[in-house]
Amino acid sequence: MIDAVQARASKLSRFAVAPYLVRRFSFRLGGIGKNIFDRKWLYKKVQQSQLLRFATCSWACFMRPSPVYVGRAAESFCALNTNRDYITILSDEGREKLIKNEIAELLSQTNTTELVRICTGLNNGVKCAFIAGKHIESDATMGCAKYQAWLSFDNGEKWLLQIPRTGNSDVPSELVEYLIASEYATLRFLERMKIPAPRAFIYGLASDPFNRVGVSYIVMQALPGRPFHAHKVSPSQKAKVLEQVAEIMLEIHEHPVRSAGSPVEDKGQIQISTLAKDRFVGLSTSGPCTTPLEYILAITGQYMDLIADGQLHHKHPLEAFLFYHYLHHNGAAIVTADMQGSFFLKHVDDKGNHLLVDEEFNVVGIVSWQFARTVPASEAFGASYLTADLASMYSCNGSVTNDDRLLANALRERGASDLVSYPEGKDIMRRLHHGLGRGSTTGEVRCLLKGMVKAVSGEQIDDIDLWMESQRESCRHDSRRRAIHGLCESI
């Protein structure tokens, strides 16, 4: 089955044409117009695009409404679409109705009887029952990407079922299936490590004719504990958790691989293949990469292409392009301290709530491995969202945080002198993957740009306009320069 997934994944290098659609996976897409003529106009503009985009263009899905929030709606469109009104703002009641209909349709496609039969067999014949998850209530367990339910066994065990939400999403089915297969392989890869990740039992893909469950899914061990939120705990509780994160890093360090990419399983063996995605599902697939520099250039190059095409950061095209151009141009200097030839598993969505803790703040589980990938050491062991201070990051001068230093000290106390420099050094990789944020003001964007330059080279920018003009000149031979100029003129 994984052979078929890999074969289909090879077609995802730029996915299908759709540069003017909502950045759907993060914002629950659905491109809605006030009337049929607006929607048909946008659909034609999509078809005219020359630069390929991560989402396919589905007329049926494009015409179907989805919930959109006023504050985020404008940011979810590209350059050409912000001058037109395509958005239907749903009331809370309308949104709930839409979600209920989506989940009802999803469950109608899911053969829960077959799922129960499979899981009973996997658990040595212990009978189980399907328990639907909550998706509307205040204690809802469903995220924006997956529907969650449980399989409850007669012996007291609980397994977690996750099904991708596709009802109001137009993320390519090939990508959805690749993410499922890669998460399963990642959990299998983690079994060789002393890390409290859930054990994966089985997965299925909707395109597999032998999958009688009927939908793509993954079943894994349900772990105890509650999500960790650093801003809600005491300093000593936070320090205790970071000490355990240091132990986890040391364990990951013992299992290097030779390329950057996402784990897949092939004939029972874990291999590193195409990068599954960034956490915002904004870039196309790439890799695997065999050097840290190749990894950096692949990511920054894609961002520059998308910005020049008006698909990203259309309100601040010059600042955004220069942000990634500077990283691209300084790629070799950025990776000089990296371990050449060695890459390490990284939990991409590591905001803190991926850690499950008990009442004593022991880390009892690490979940949500969907976008995990192998990355250079500077990213695997460096500054992350877990230790970030976003207020400081947006202040122009922010860099390494107190929590970064706490983690570095925890590594130092455990004799990991070769890893200490990553969290207490520079936060370049954190800034690279955070980028310019979403919905940022011009002032915030320029602060992020100045902070990134300072992190990379130590340069303090006093006059951002003068600096941007000098950098603009350095881009004079870049084929995307004319496109950036056109976008600036249209603002």
Q: Which two tokens stand for residue 379?
A: 């990213």
- The helix (H) or strand (E) run that includes residue 227 is strand 226-227
Q: What is the 3-state secondary structure (H, E, C) of 30-74?
A: CCCCCCHHHHHHHHHHHHCCCCCCCCCCCHHHHCCCCCCCHHHHH
Cα angle for residues 320, 321, 324 (degrees, 5° grid): 90
Q: Is 193 exposed, middle or buried (0-12, 13-18, 19+ CB in 10 A)?
A: middle
> Would you tell me how many other CB atoms lie within 10 Å of the CB of residue 92?
8
Identify the bridge partners of residue 130 per DSSP, sorted by sequence position.
Answer: 151
Task: Assign domain 93-222 to its CATH superfamily.
Answer: Phosphorylase Kinase; domain 1 (3.30.200.20)
Q: What is the pLDDT of residues 385-444, one digit of tens each?
A: 999 988 888 877 767 899 999 999 999 999 999 999 999 988 999 999 999 887 888 899
Over the stretch 462-481, which tens digit does the pLDDT of each residue have? 999 999 999 988 888 899 99
Q: Which helix (H) or strand (E) holds 357?
A: strand 355-357
Beta bridge partners of 261: 374
Tens-digit pLDDT profile for residues 176-192: 899 999 999 999 999 99
- Indicate the burial class of 170 (C-beta count within 10 angstroms; 0-12, 13-18, 19 or more): buried
The pTM score is 0.82
Q: What is the pLDDT of residue 397?
A: 72
